[in-house]
Structure 1
């Protein structure tokens, strides 16, 4: 086994407090990413760029990682979503989904979410399993 500096280890998960709302998701995303199910359709599957506020599918059938939030220079708020389809989908593997619709959010993004629970390792130790590093590239 190799010694590595590991910042945190994932030890479980918690579901977003019910009912899943954009307000609850914002509290979670302020600290770490969340895995969320969302309503999905062909229009979303064809997404390329910009803040998406188009139609949504009829049932929650696709899981994504909500990795952040921001707003455009003109003030349009959005969730930053990473899809598992790789960098050829969307905007280099990401999507900006309109934020601030209230309730469960556009396409139900805040309704079905879970987020990892972490333990601070406090330094180097032998690698035991899945790791989460503190930085990622967008």
Structure 2
């Protein structure tokens, strides 16, 4: 699936500077991967209503027990507001002892979807793009 077509837009336009956040969760147990991914889909449904959210991709590498997101924000404050959002906090608490999470952030003068995805895939150490299973 083409990651650029699985983009979930938010309210923000992303016309000015943006903050990109890349998360990579590795499950300790195979049975947790579907649960973690479904939790991500739950957050994804709310994406269009989140303040400062430009958009989001979800990704997964099932054979490596990995999944995560590439999210784009208008500001660091918008990302921090999301991190503190009660539904996100509840999910993080639920899975905090079920694997390892890594995160990377960077800023850009503007949002270029192809460039953002390419840089995120590089950070994730992928030879190609992660398998996409998020609905369009």
Q: TM-score category by the smaller chain? A: under 0.3
Larger strand proportion, structure 1 or 2?
1
Larger helix proportion, structure 1 or 2?
2
* Structure exhibiting the larger radius of gyration computed from Cα positions: 1
TM-score normalised by the chain length of structure 2: 0.27
